[in-house]
Structure 1
């Protein structure tokens, strides 16, 4: 059913005479009767009023769509009326009124028509053309043109026979991983495509892709901030992007992936491999970032476990883990040994090892991890371990690539002896003779500087770190601040970690408070999302703030940064430390030296964010606050 079939020139009133809702409804129903489309105008009018009594059909944007089914209607029809002066319709200023009349036994076509009309009317350009049209012919022309345009777009996006697969993976494997997967699946669903996305989350790969999935795929999207295994794609060309791009631009990525026509491409695998290597070189900065994030993602569990166990050991007494102390307690010694002597000692080698693994696979693991251990021994710390990971990984990759032409019978010996031996020699010599001494001196300087920060200076650093954490909620600025915190954590400086967690918890909690206290500033769906943000914020999952920031960045992002910066600045000024850089409210009681003050800093920052949002965001009309629910109820 097309609009133009049931909205003829005779059904258009360019200048409504009615001055209020009742008069306009009478006028529209009168035109329906004049055109012999209803056998009983009064009965149909009652059906319209019955629908209005359930919920107003004023849908915002100066538009109303009164509609009803009735046995008095002979065939589906639309009566369009326009008032340039505007009237009060259902409490809203309205200029465009589309009255839809359908027979009592009408099929779902009339509902589909109503749905399409509602979508069209959300387009500002379409509404503007209807308002400035000078004749009924021009009105008809505008509708015909727009309907053809939308039909063309739908044909272009009709991918119902296509199959999308993909992999998503972020640094922590908690939020961005699943948000990217949902964005891709939702974009595919709107096109009519089937989709299967493997999520490489904190609990390992879920919804794993099978060989059959890969064989049947028409498009592949890999969205990751850490290294993921794509060897199963067998030379197929795929879109390779950071996680946040999939969250924000899923539809564009699917277009790009479909353009590769992977089912039609039949090229030599060496050619495909060479092309992928060239693409990797073009995106060197992105690859560098992914290698670091891969190492950090494997390191975080060691940091969290080590920090919590050390914090528990201190609960028995500051010197309770020392066998020579009068405070000695065997359980304190146990927790200290597991946390400090084992978990903390492994942090830097694990970081380096998995940076190397990200670069060169298994061949890079041993040399990079050994280089990381040398960074530990030589006091080169987190930064030294990171550099060791790159040197070990690239050394292994270069040596392996140089020996590709060696006969296959010797390849096994090369992978288990030659590559590890030579690459370890390179990274070991580099760490021992070149890096450890200057890096140790730099770390000593940084530690002394940070330990000497007090008062205003400490507050400035805390505000800077927390503000960076809140600025892009999981993006590169956030990750840069996190990396600095982890570097200080590895050096046993725990105050920056406290400020960083404040910066990560304040945005979602502050927004959640705003949706509760300033309800009239948020729509129904936003208030529901706010409830979930309480839990996400308390769990130190900053990504709970992303939907709000994406919808209203100019108000939400500054509010997040200001609240987080104030909370983080006060936190460091009060010399609050945190010996577990992740875990939110669940680790604060045992990992913070001043848990009550620390929670107070988080609440203060959250309240400030909440108040700023309440001030910046304007109250919505009752209709706008319910629009999510009402727009769906129209159908």
Structure 2
């Protein structure tokens, strides 16, 4: 069976009418229904949106691959849509949409064909052919030509060059898994390197790595959004990244992996086997553990903040049954947000730090320690420490009991480890940490509440500037962690400054691509349109492509604009009771929404004009080069 057997000419829409994600998904599902390929279109639509909510299926290059397996699909198929003017798909400017629909019991052969399309889309030439196609037949011909060009990966150890191996695994194992593998293969082939990538797809692991592969590897890259078994790597260092990074930055990852110099002739095979793993087994990757806890905590923070803000709309005391302002709806929102969601913030933070360290065994003791931090007043910082103490205690106890007979291992994991590790973290929190940490929190809260004028402005400038400095990197995350700690202590002014710092870079860059178009390539001008949406949604990462292309001009402009906006924000005593959500939460979560939006616009305009001043105009040839146009496609 060929790919064109499931992406037929009748499944192609060359002129999508929709202008956004919802409209184009409805249009593609209508085609699916029209072709009688689904018995329940609404059920399939829910499956598609469930997948989108887990992680966006936008893969860059103006391509989106929404996909799902569902009982209502009668046979594996692909519905393709094209929009020459582009559509806004979840904040991404998109030209090509390939909707993959597969039954829950789809044969392995069919799933492999679906995955093949993902690898085709990594080719700029193939994408260009689809964009310029004048008929459905042209699309089919492009697919057939691409199938003839595909060559198997080089896996022969006698091949020239170094040997790169890796594993890719995405949430559903249909699209991103194979796109990441293809990107890594292509980057390695261009260097004349030998390559083997194991894909943990919907059919299970394919092209599995062997001990011989690992022994002879010069570089190892693991790209995954779900947990993968790395025990076969036998202690060798490897690059560990999300799938999308492998799709977009394969060359950089291979360079990084090669820099580890894992194939050292002075190291014997026995030494390699006994070398402790630095990423998976050391448990000392503090940043990863903290970010794991924070990522699980953020939804509770957002929901809690928004619900509390809504309750205040009925009156400051409307949630209090003893008040004359009492309103039962306000009480409902206050209880859900403040008494439920906020109460879970710190336990969730601690629990998933422990989970990151010791897997399921670390969850209960760390979460209980987090609850003790919340009850005992040690707050956000106490919760983080509880997560580490509970996680490492569970990990140590679990390892200490590894040699107990297998018949007792179940009892150990559900009783002994949680019981002892909970006692350790509980005693630590009760007798040692809570009292001094609560005093420290009280001092810090009093100091922050007393900040006014120039002192508040300096803190706002610092926090917002840190947010804009590396746009999602460690400095940004450090500032965010401080803001979340203050948020947990009911101090909401730092959250406002931090959101200014996150929104200014993408909005400022977007304004620059509009006002100073001759300073940017056509690709950058087009990407600038998406930056408006990303910035308004508080997605700072929308500025990263521009900063990577011109860091010496873009990054200082981002920091200066954000710092000015953050300084004015805190100097004006603006607060924000929802630390995420951008423009969607400002009207209900800020105490001074119009002034707050003004701070964001002020910072964005400063960033915009600094960029316009620093960047030089480009020639028409540079702005319209074929290479750049191909990148737009």
Is the pair's TM-score, using the shorter chain for normalization, greater than 0.5?
yes
1:442 aligns with 2:444: no
Match of 1:426, SS state, is helix
Q: Which moves more between the two structures, 208-217 or 297-306?
A: 208-217
User: Cα distance, 1:585 vs. partner?
Assistant: 1.0
- Residue 221 of structure 1 is matched in structure 2 by 221
**Aligned-residue RMSD, C-alpha:** 3.5
1:211 aligns with 2:209: no
Q: What whole-Å deviation, never above 9, does each CA across 1:428-476 have from its counterpart, x for those lacking one?
A: 0000000000000000001001111111111110000000000001111
Could you tell me how far apart the structure 2 residues matched to 1:179 and 1:601 are?
39
Could you tell me how far apart the structure 2 residues matched to 1:327 and 1:158 are?
73
- Residue 611 of structure 1 is matched in structure 2 by 609
Q: What whole-Å deviation, never above 9, does each CA across 1:494-541 have from its counterpart, x for those lacking one?
A: 110111011011001100100110011111111111111111111111
Match of 1:165, SS state, is strand
Pairing 1:344-359 to 2, within 5 Å after superposition = 344-359=342-357
Could you tell me how far apart the structure 1 residues matched to 2:596 and 2:281 are?
45
Q: Where does structure 1 lack aligned partners over 5 or more consecutive residues?
A: 1-114, 116-154, 170-177, 199-206
User: Cα distance, 1:275 vs. partner?
Assistant: 3.0
- Residue 506 of structure 1 is matched in structure 2 by 504
Could you tell me how far apart the structure 2 residues matched to 1:603 and 1:327 are?
36
Give TM-score scaled by structure 1 length: 0.65
- Do the aligned partners of 1:183 and 1:250 also contact (CA within 8 Å) in 2? no
- Residue 300 of structure 2 is matched in structure 1 by 302
- Do the aligned partners of 2:504 and 2:601 also contact (CA within 8 Å) in 1? yes
Could you tell me how far apart the structure 1 residues matched to 2:498 and 2:177 are?
24
- Residue 371 of structure 1 is matched in structure 2 by 369
1:467 aligns with 2:465: yes
User: Cα distance, 1:573 vs. partner?
Assistant: 0.8
Rg larger for: 1
Could you tell me how far apart the structure 2 residues matched to 1:442 and 1:563 are?
33
Change (3 A) 1:364 1:273: farther
Could you tell me how far apart the structure 2 residues matched to 1:594 and 1:249 are?
44
User: Cα distance, 1:215 vs. partner?
Assistant: 4.9
User: Cα distance, 1:296 vs. partner?
Assistant: 0.5
* Counterpart pick for 2:406 among 388, 405, 408: 408
Q: Which moves more between the two structures, 471-480 or 526-535?
A: 526-535
- Residue 188 of structure 1 is matched in structure 2 by 185
User: Cα distance, 1:424 vs. partner?
Assistant: 0.6
- Do the aligned partners of 1:525 and 1:628 also contact (CA within 8 Å) in 2? no
* Counterpart pick for 2:255 among 252, 255, 262: 252
Change (3 A) 1:632 1:434: closer
- Do the aligned partners of 1:165 and 1:213 also contact (CA within 8 Å) in 2? no
Could you tell me how far apart the structure 1 residues matched to 2:458 and 2:181 are?
40
Q: What whole-Å deviation, never above 9, does each CA across 1:212-257 have from its counterpart, x for those lacking one?
A: 2545898752358x9x623366556562346698648223146579
Match of 1:332, SS state, is helix
- Residue 588 of structure 1 is matched in structure 2 by 586
- Do the aligned partners of 1:368 and 1:388 also contact (CA within 8 Å) in 2? yes
- Residue 240 of structure 1 is matched in structure 2 by 239
- Do the aligned partners of 1:222 and 1:238 also contact (CA within 8 Å) in 2? no
User: Cα distance, 1:418 vs. partner?
Assistant: 1.0
Q: Where does structure 2 lack aligned partners over 5 or more consecutive residues?
A: 1-124, 126-158, 190-194
User: Cα distance, 1:483 vs. partner?
Assistant: 0.4
- Do the aligned partners of 1:540 and 1:582 also contact (CA within 8 Å) in 2? yes
Change (3 A) 1:448 1:258: closer
1:277 aligns with 2:277: yes
User: Cα distance, 1:289 vs. partner?
Assistant: 0.7
- Residue 428 of structure 2 is matched in structure 1 by 430
Match of 1:425, SS state, is helix
- Do the aligned partners of 1:314 and 1:332 also contact (CA within 8 Å) in 2? yes
* Counterpart pick for 1:625 among 617, 623, 626: 623
- Residue 515 of structure 1 is matched in structure 2 by 513
1:166 aligns with 2:165: no
Could you tell me how far apart the structure 1 residues matched to 2:564 and 2:486 are?
21
- Do the aligned partners of 2:237 and 2:262 also contact (CA within 8 Å) in 1? no
- Do the aligned partners of 1:506 and 1:605 also contact (CA within 8 Å) in 2? yes
Match of 1:231, SS state, is coil
* Counterpart pick for 1:480 among 478, 481, 504: 478
- Residue 287 of structure 2 is matched in structure 1 by 289
- Do the aligned partners of 1:185 and 1:196 also contact (CA within 8 Å) in 2? no
Give TM-score scaled by structure 2 length: 0.65
- Residue 49 of structure 2 is matched in structure 1 by none
* Counterpart pick for 1:332 among 330, 333, 336: 330
Change (3 A) 1:181 1:343: farther
Could you tell me how far apart the structure 2 residues matched to 1:550 and 1:510 are?
16
- Residue 146 of structure 2 is matched in structure 1 by none
- Do the aligned partners of 1:309 and 1:335 also contact (CA within 8 Å) in 2? yes
* Counterpart pick for 1:454 among 452, 460, 470: 452
Could you tell me how far apart the structure 1 residues matched to 2:179 and 2:610 are?
31
- Do the aligned partners of 1:559 and 1:609 also contact (CA within 8 Å) in 2? yes
Pairing 1:67-216 to 2, within 5 Å after superposition = 164-166=166-168, 186-192=183-189, 210-212=204-206, 214-215=208-209
Change (3 A) 1:209 1:290: farther
Could you tell me how far apart the structure 1 residues matched to 2:280 and 2:517 are?
48
Match of 1:249, SS state, is helix
